[in-house]
């Protein structure tokens, strides 16, 4: 487990560095949202397109990796639903725990896969994102529609068309579609354009991890209670365990199984906070969940990967 922890250590050091940059105001507070947006809309899509156009997808034995990841997500959603009534959660609090149980931080996932398994791990993770991101978005928005509350306390509403449009406009999904298409039709990396994409791709991981660190809310973490603890146990331990069991049942092994388990063991994404604010969730609770899970995953990810491998 120590070699795995050593490989992942730079990722969490960069996250802590991002928190330090924000606390010391080295980068103005007002600049972080723009940097986040640039990373989300440009750098990470370029990273995914670059990897998918350079890799021989036919040589990757993915098997039922996507189904394995989806099974773990559904298990997390079911477990979150199962604990709602016994612990007396109101609607907004439940939506935050629900998001915390199933929504992964793709920045940490891509960085971890790259650090541990190089280009093959990065490519498998990019392909896995194409399965997980639409599914998680659909489940989370559905939960928000059912249990969220707007400012006057009335139930939240959102149309199916809006949910589908949001998924189709996701820049990560678009990047996977572009990269996979260029690869499968035999075009691959386009001269000059591909070189520009590759240069932009190099900024994705460091910028993404710094943004993760800058977004941590240590005040919310200090007030963490039962909801944060339950969501963290679900996301960091039970969901990856369910993913591993599903993979074994589906006959997935080797690197695809490890990547599936790693991805489903990632801490909750900061996008959960945005969705909670927009659709009537408990945004203070989800801020605590994001921070605690990100810090705790420094210990749980090496353990989970070691067991999965």
- Mean pLDDT for the stretch of residues 162-169: 69
As given in the structure block, the two tokens for residue 31 are 């600049």
The pair phi, psi for residue 149, each rounded to 5°, is -135, 140
As given in the structure block, the two tokens for residue 134 are 């639409």
- For residue 158, pLDDT over 60 is answered with no
pLDDT at residue 160, as a whole number: 62
Helices (H) and strands (E) in the chain, counts: 16, 0
- Short-list 108, 77, 67, CA closest to 234: 77
Q: Which domains does the chain have, with CATH numbers?
A: 2-308 (1.20.1530.20)
- Our CA angle for 48, 53, 129, nearest 5°, is 35
Q: pLDDT (tens digit, 9 = 90+) per residue, 258-286? A: 999 999 999 998 878 877 877 778 888 88
Q: How many CB atoms lie within 10 A of CB 5?
A: 16
Instruction: Render 70-136 in DSSP notation, one character per residue.
Output: HHHHHHHHHHHHHHHTTTT--HHHHHHHHHHHH-B-HHHHHHHHHHHHHHHHHHHHHHHHHHHHHHH
Q: How many CB atoms lie within 10 A of CB 294?
A: 26
Q: How many Å separate Cα 279 from the centre of its chain?
A: 19
- For residue 224, pLDDT over 70 is answered with no
- For residue 24, pLDDT over 70 is answered with yes
- For residue 85, pLDDT over 60 is answered with yes
246 and 68 Cβ atoms separated by less than 8 Å: yes
Per-residue pLDDT band for 151 (boundaries 50, 70, 90) equals low
CB environment 101-128: b (16+ within 10 A), e (fewer): bbbbbbbbbbbbbbbbbeebbbbbbbbb
Name the residue with higher pLDDT: 222 or 28. Answer: 28
Per-residue pLDDT band for 223 (boundaries 50, 70, 90) equals low
Residue linked to tokens 């969705």:
275
Q: How many CB atoms lie within 10 A of CB 95?
A: 32
Q: Which residues pair with 268 in a beta bridge?
A: 104
pLDDT at residue 207, as a whole number: 92
**Average per-residue pLDDT in the chain?**
86
Q: pLDDT (tens digit, 9 = 90+) per residue, 118-140? A: 988 988 998 888 788 888 888 88
The pair phi, psi for residue 263, each rounded to 5°, is -65, -40
Q: How many CB atoms lie within 10 A of CB 233?
A: 16
107 and 212 Cβ atoms separated by less than 8 Å: yes
User: Which contiguous run of DSSP H or E holds residue 211?
Assistant: helix 204-214
| Cα dihedral: 1, 231, 34, 15 (round 10) | -20
As given in the structure block, the two tokens for residue 45 are 């899509």
110 and 266 Cβ atoms separated by less than 8 Å: no
Q: pLDDT (tens digit, 9 = 90+) per residue, 174-220? A: 888 899 899 888 888 899 999 999 999 999 989 989 998 888 888 87
């Amino acid at each position: 487990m120590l070699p795995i922890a050593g490989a992942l250590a730079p990722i969490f050091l960069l996250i802590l560095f991002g928190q330090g940059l924000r606390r010391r105001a080295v980068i103005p507070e007002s600049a972080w949202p723009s940097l986040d947006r640039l990373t989300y809309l440009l750098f990470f899509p370029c990273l995914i397109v670059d990897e998918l156009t350079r890799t021989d997808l036919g040589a990757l034995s993915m098997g039922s990796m996507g189904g394995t990841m989806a099974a773990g997500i559904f298990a997390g959603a079911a477990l979150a639903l199962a604990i709602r009534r016994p612990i007396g959660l109101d609607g907004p609090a439940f939506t935050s725990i629900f998001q915390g149980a199933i929504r992964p931080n793709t920045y940490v996932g891509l960085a971890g896969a790259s650090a541990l398994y190089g280009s093959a791990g990065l490519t498998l993770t990019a392909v896995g994102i194409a399965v997980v991101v639409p599914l998680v978005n659909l489940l989370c928005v559905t939960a928000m529609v059912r249990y969220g509350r707007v400012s006057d306390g009335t139930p939240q509403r959102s149309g199916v068309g809006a949910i589908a449009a949001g998924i189709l406009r996701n820049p990560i999904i678009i990047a996977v579609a572009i990269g996979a298409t260029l690869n499968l039709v035999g075009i691959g990396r386009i001269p000059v354009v591909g070189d520009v994409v590759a240069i932009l791709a190099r900024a994705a991981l460091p910028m993404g991890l710094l943004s993760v660190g800058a977004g941590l809310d240590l005040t919310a973490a200090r007030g963490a209670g039962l909801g944060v603890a339950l969501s963290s146990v679900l996301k960091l331990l039970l969901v990856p365990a369910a993913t591993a069991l599903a993979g074994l049942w589906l006959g997935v092994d080797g690197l695809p199984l490890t990547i599936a388990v790693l991805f489903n063991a990632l801490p909750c994404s900061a996008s959960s906070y945005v969705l909670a604010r927009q659709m009537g969730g408990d945004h203070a609770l989800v801020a605590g969940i994001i921070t605690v899970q990100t810090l705790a995953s420094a210990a749980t990810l090496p353990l989970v990967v070691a067991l999965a491998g």
